[in-house]
Structure 1
Amino acid sequence: MPGMRLSVIAVTRHGAALGRRAAGCLRQQGHPVRLLVPARFRDGTPGEEAFSGPLAGVIAAEFERAQGLVLIMALGIVIRLLAPLVRDKRTDPAVVTLDEKGQFVISTLSGHLGGANDLARSLAAGLGAAAVITTATDVRGRPAVDVLARQYDLAMEPFAAVRTVNAALVNGEPVTFCSQFTLPLPQADGIHRLPWEQLRTGRINGWLVLITNRTIAPPAANTLFLRPRNLVAGIGCRRGIDAQPVREALERALALAGCSPLSLQALATVDLRAEEAALQIVAGERAVPLFSFSRAAIQSVYDRKEHNLNFSHFVYEKIGVGGVCEPVSLLTAPRAVLILPKTSHRGVTVALAEVNSGWWEPARAMPRT
């Protein structure tokens, strides 16, 4: 779990000393860490911050800011302070609790999706402590679909089914996994693997966990979709366009490709349109980044002639390249394949590119160029 933004908070003198050890350990593991201790226990360690206000306010602020909290205090205090803050396991940060002697690292909140179980294990290993994990799937040594979703950046649909499927896995009831993409699917008693090409003909007992970005009718009533976030939508538009045509064009493109909106990983466009409010609004609504690329980078895709891209003389005369939506989608995800070529709707062009593997790797996210 490299790269989690973590806050370590201690409340006693001995807890502050342990906090310094914990922060150092977590930084060595690749996490950016803030260490917060009461002002009277601060000793000048670089990166250490003092707090003097109420502990409840400090934890509430870090709960909103950080991806994970390491709280060195009694578990009862932690529960009371977290109670008014907890909202949704999909968005709540990971929380682990340490006793001030550093004997136990307790996964307290968001064990699976937030990563608290993994955080507890890695921190316990670094401190020589015991990790305390209480989630049933972990205790029983069974796989959990929300762990799989977190590991491979999969959106769960419907989310309400996750608990039921995990319960089935814990209880050894039949669960079938079928994936459109090559993934190391879990292995355990009661878990069946169905090849993608046998989805319509294979026998399914119990729950079906279907890993696909396609909007297909499930062959079983009890189906949990895991949607890989592996689609990039390249978008071209005129200057000053409203957001609604962009929304419609994107929705139309996804429908034409038969793909779920939950699988969108990013939007992309030419640098000349990077500041367009309509594109920024739609990216915000979809909770995905908006990447942009220079005309030189776009031209390089045409020059390589690796893809049979559409070329518009009108667009070339306007901005100096023969197209936007297709090349920018491929620039955003260099290993992607174009699954929907240029489509047009109300002055907006959209193309879709799909990444077949590795979409979950942070290194695949491309910065603006």
Structure 2
Amino acid sequence: MTITVIAITRNGVSLGERVAHALRARKHRVRLLIPARFRGKEGEPLDGPLARVLEREFRSSRGLVLIMALGIVVRLLAPLLRNKRVDPAVVVMDEGGKFAISTLSGHLGGANELARQLAADLGVIPVITTATDVQDLPAVDTMAREFSLVLEPFAAVRQVNAALVNGERVVLCSEVPLPVQHSPGLEVIPWDQLDDCRPAGWLVLITNRLMSLPHDQILFLRPKNLVAGIGCRRGVAPELIRGAITGALQMARRSPLSLRALATVDLRAQEPGLLTVAGEMDLPLLSFTREQIDLVFRENPGIFQHSHFVREKIGVGGVCEPVTMLAAPGARLILPKTRWPGVTVALAEESSGWWERDRGL
């Protein structure tokens, strides 16, 4: 996680140096911002009024550790708040180093976990007030953060967590193997028992499949475990690429929320249409050399569709299928090469481990 630590007093700076050291030891990327007059060997100077610096860091960091009065933090951050999906984790510490208060984005942003880490490393008292944590219950947004899952519909998160807190039945069923166990209020059932499950309360499903079920209280947790391989002609319009990806997902009955990346050959890495669609979908566009693609063909004989026409044009027998394997080694092809006007698309799916790549960001 990218974390900014800000201290504004002499004692706070001393604590801030300890905080920064502890967080770096946990592999976080840390910036320490302190008043210029208190600078020692550590830290960068606060380059403006505190309100302006906080606004900038709030929008650019995944986490903030603010060593100052909680009231100051509340007043300065209040105008910046958007929603728990995008707001960073905020932990407030007193300059005496007694408490680490999870202040904002406790579950999805990771502030609760950050407060616990500071408590373990520095001997401070973590202050965590989210109801599920107080009752030692699972929270679906914490699960989503831990395993890189997208919540759908997001509005249901509060209702599911409230059901857990209030002792109502919540049933969870995962198509992918995740280390999720039974706990008070949360009943975990195998995927092959889903058809027979008719819970009276909430049903939480971890799957990338588009499904229609006879149940009116469903929260989907979408794993980010799909890669779309793209081959295209030069100059192809963004709407054709977008339509091909949408069509491929519909053919495979998979949710677009589960896409983690687009992939293509290096010859198309700067194709405006591809870059536009990747930006609109907020996905990385990964590119691979023809040498890498050719090696995948040789190591997997008979697996991928081969086109002599494509080989004559760019030097390899195909793009969309092999680049999915390069982007997600160990994934399986769930939709082979499909043709659309000016575009080819293939989809690959990972069964585990996708969340490991997101940790530490």
TM-score after normalising by structure 2: 0.97
Q: Amino acid of the residue matched to residue 27 of structure 2?
A: G
- Whether the 8 Å contact between 1:199 and 1:219 is mirrored in structure 2 is no
Aligned-partner Cα distance in 1 for 2:295–2:359 = 19
What SS is found at the alignment partner of 1:200? helix
Q: CA deviation at 1:205?
A: 2.4
Please name the residue that 2:126 is paired with. Answer: 131
Aligned-partner Cα distance in 2 for 1:104–1:241 = 56
Aligned-partner Cα distance in 1 for 2:229–2:359 = 16
Please name the residue that 1:22 is paired with. Answer: 19
Q: Deviations over 1:125-172 (max 9, x none)?
A: 111111111111000000000001001100000000000000111111
- Whether the 8 Å contact between 1:315 and 1:323 is mirrored in structure 2 is yes
Distance 1:311 1:175, change over 3 A: same
What SS is found at the alignment partner of 2:196? coil
What SS is found at the alignment partner of 2:334? strand
Paired positions, count = 360
> Which of 305, 327, 330 lines up with 1:310 in the alignment?
305
Q: Which gives a bigger RCO, structure 1 or 2 (Cα 8 Å, sep 6+)?
A: 2
Report 1:125-204 matches (<5 A): 125-204=120-199
Q: Amino acid of the residue matched to residue 59 of structure 1?
A: L
Please name the residue that 1:291 is paired with. Answer: 286
Q: Amino acid of the residue matched to residue 248 of structure 2?
A: A
> Which of 258, 267, 274 lines up with 2:262 in the alignment?
267
> Which of 64, 70, 73 lines up with 1:69 in the alignment?
64
Q: Amino acid of the residue matched to residue 40 of structure 1?
A: R
Report 1:1-369 matches (<5 A): 4-43=1-40, 45-46=41-42, 48-51=43-46, 53-305=48-300, 308-362=303-357
Aligned-partner Cα distance in 1 for 2:295–2:121 = 47
What SS is found at the alignment partner of 1:245? helix
Q: Deviations over 1:196-221 (max 9, x none)?
A: 12222223220000111000102311
Aligned-partner Cα distance in 2 for 1:17–1:211 = 44
Q: CA deviation at 1:306?
A: 5.5
Runs of 5+ unmatched residues, structure 2: none
Q: Amino acid of the residue matched to residue 32 of structure 1?
A: R
TM-score after normalising by structure 1: 0.95
Distance 1:177 1:36, change over 3 A: same
Q: Deviations over 1:289-308 (max 9, x none)?
A: 11000111101111012662
Runs of 5+ unmatched residues, structure 1: none
**CA RMSD between the two structures:** 1.4
Aligned-partner Cα distance in 2 for 1:363–1:168 = 29
Q: Amino acid of the residue matched to residue 6 of structure 2?
A: I
Aligned-partner Cα distance in 2 for 1:35–1:144 = 31
Q: Amino acid of the residue matched to residue 2 of structure 2?
A: R
- Whether the 8 Å contact between 2:47 and 2:53 is mirrored in structure 1 is no
- Whether the 8 Å contact between 1:9 and 1:70 is mirrored in structure 2 is yes
Q: Amino acid of the residue matched to residue 313 of structure 1?
A: H
Q: Amino acid of the residue matched to residue 222 of structure 2?
A: R
- Whether the 8 Å contact between 1:235 and 1:349 is mirrored in structure 2 is yes
Identity of aligned residues (%): 61
Q: Amino acid of the residue matched to residue 11 of structure 1?
A: I
Aligned-partner Cα distance in 2 for 1:307–1:101 = 66
Distance 1:70 1:228, change over 3 A: same
Distance 1:244 1:75, change over 3 A: same
Aligned-partner Cα distance in 2 for 1:284–1:254 = 18
Q: Amino acid of the residue matched to residue 98 of structure 2?
A: Q
Q: Deviations over 1:225-279 (max 9, x none)?
A: 0000100000000111110100010000000000000000100000000000111
Aligned-partner Cα distance in 1 for 2:278–2:48 = 38
- Whether the 8 Å contact between 1:336 and 1:354 is mirrored in structure 2 is yes
Aligned-partner Cα distance in 2 for 1:194–1:94 = 32
- Whether the 8 Å contact between 2:248 and 2:346 is mirrored in structure 1 is yes
Q: Deviations over 1:272-330 (max 9, x none)?
A: 00000111111111111110001111011110126621011110110111100000011
